[in-house]
Structure 1
């Protein structure tokens, strides 16, 4: 495979993982956000989905973010009778964000990003080696 194609594939992977990291960061930042009005929903966790797309210009399959969707899992609830968003029983809905899951996703995202970075570094070194052989 052409080394420049490898660079395109790895850089697309890094971009996709960077976008995923942004969404995970938003989830963690809003993990304790509650609704502001009675019966309102709190922050809803978001999930990134990926797809393979053909880069016609380069002639390679690349990964890209397909969509950012809302997690449909149930909200939690906590007893806070004085909160403005509390229902008649005094319960407030809490976000469906689990910090432990987000941290695991963040770690996986970081490792994928680093793997793509390593591919770029290795490809660059091979290109430099090839150039030095040609001299």
Structure 2
């Protein structure tokens, strides 16, 4: 019975979902930021991708953050000629962040984190019961 592999895999899952939540929180926090100068680009939405990893010693697959990248979709614009960063036509570029997408990402990260935590708790309970039986 090698419960340490299960705990390690669950810990990997919790680690990457924490990173996913951090990225979504950063995106939401910057949803209304603009560029610094007229016509400049605002905050660009960040994305996160995961990759499978293989522990060569145990032969067990885990997961890690592969990359934190950027969403290259177009910025939206809004007409706000009084804004100091508006271009010559009075338009301000706004971040390519969708509140709904970020909320969905946070919900998925939460559910996955909780599933990994639940797996870890069940594994710990099974370990404790096994040790108690051996006493």
TM surpasses 0.5: yes
| CA deviation profile, 1:67-89 (whole Å, cap 9, x unmatched) | 01100111111111021221121
Shift, 1:98, TM fit: 0.6
- Higher mean C-alpha displacement, 100-109 vs 49-58: 49-58
- For 1:39 and 1:13, the matched residues in 2 are separated by 41
Structure 2: which 5+ runs fail to align? none
Return the offset for 1:40. 0.6
TM-score by length of 1: 0.96
Per-residue deviation, residues 40-87 of structure 1 (Å, max 9, x unmatched): 100000010000011234431110000011001111111110212211
For 2:3 and 2:36, the matched residues in 1 are separated by 53
| TM-score, normalised via structure 2 length | 0.96
Q: Show the counterpart of 2:4.
A: 4
Q: Which residue of 2 aligns with 1:114?
A: 114
In structure 2, what is the Cα distance between the partners aligned to 1:106 and 1:74?
A: 23
Partner of residue 97, structure 1 = 97
Equivalence for 1:26 = 26
